[in-house]
Amino acid sequence: MPTAHATVLAEVGPSIVRGDLAEGAVITLDWIGETYGVSRTVAREVVQVLVSMGLVDSRRRTGIKILPRERWDDYDPAIIRWRLDGQHRLRHLHELAELRAAIEPASAALAATHADADQRAEIVRIAEQMEASGAAGDLQTFLEQDIAFHRLLLRASGNVMFSGLADVVEGVLRGRTDHDLMPSEPKREARRLHQVVADAVAGGEAEVARYAMTAICAEVVSDLGHQH
């Protein structure tokens, strides 16, 4: 069961992202407490999280001010999720997919160079599992395996800046599935390309891994571009 803090955050955060609480608006701890029926302590905890996300600025004399869009932490997983729940989700998914296309091919190539033996074996194992669940049309299992696949590649790249984008990549993958933007059965070609990436990483073939991952990302960008 979610805590009072999490429940209030899940209400206030999206209301800012949607624009219900507009840029420049000022709220108070008392307003949060009265609106959501929580203590001042809980309200303060919520505000601290919102400050860390760049959604609000809190000052003793001026209150809690809603900050402009450009101040938000666009890489925060909660903000990604809230934006994907909004009316502009296709545009945001397209932006996230374009970011993936810039990062993941390089990450796959680095993984082919830097992955250790366990990571090379694991990426092949996951790709085989994805083929089985994808062919069976088990979208939920496929999604979890797909997330594990891409997280492992980012980590195996050996670049902490790339691995730090794992939540962003997961946001694209979950967003497409959660909002019914995936085909009913993962495409055969996409499944094949994941296996090509895995085999290339296992075999230390950096450019093959880069090429196959480029194709995977390009297909997602194209699909979302047409829907957008």
Q: pLDDT for 111-127, tens place per residue?
A: 999 999 999 999 999 99
Which domains are present in the chain? 4-71 (1.10.10.10), 77-227 (1.20.120.530)
Span 47-82, pLDDT tens digits: 999 999 999 999 888 889 999 999 999 999 899 989
Span 15-50, pLDDT tens digits: 999 999 999 999 999 999 999 999 999 999 999 999
Confidence class of residue 199 from pLDDT cuts 50, 70 and 90?
very high
pTM as predicted: 0.85
Confidence class of residue 153 from pLDDT cuts 50, 70 and 90?
very high
Q: Spell out the SS3 assignment of the chain.
A: CCCHHHHHHHHHHHHHHHCCCCCCCEECHHHHHHHHCCCHHHHHHHHHHHHHCCCEEEECCCEEEECCHHHCCCCCHHHHHHHHCCCCHHHHHHHHHHHHHHHHHHHHHHHHHHCCHHHHHHHHHHHHHHHHHHHCCCHHHHHHHHHHHHHHHHHHCCCHHHHCCHHHHHHHHHHHHHCCCCCCCCCHHHHHHHHHHHHHHHHCCHHHHHHHHHHHHHHHHHHHHHHC
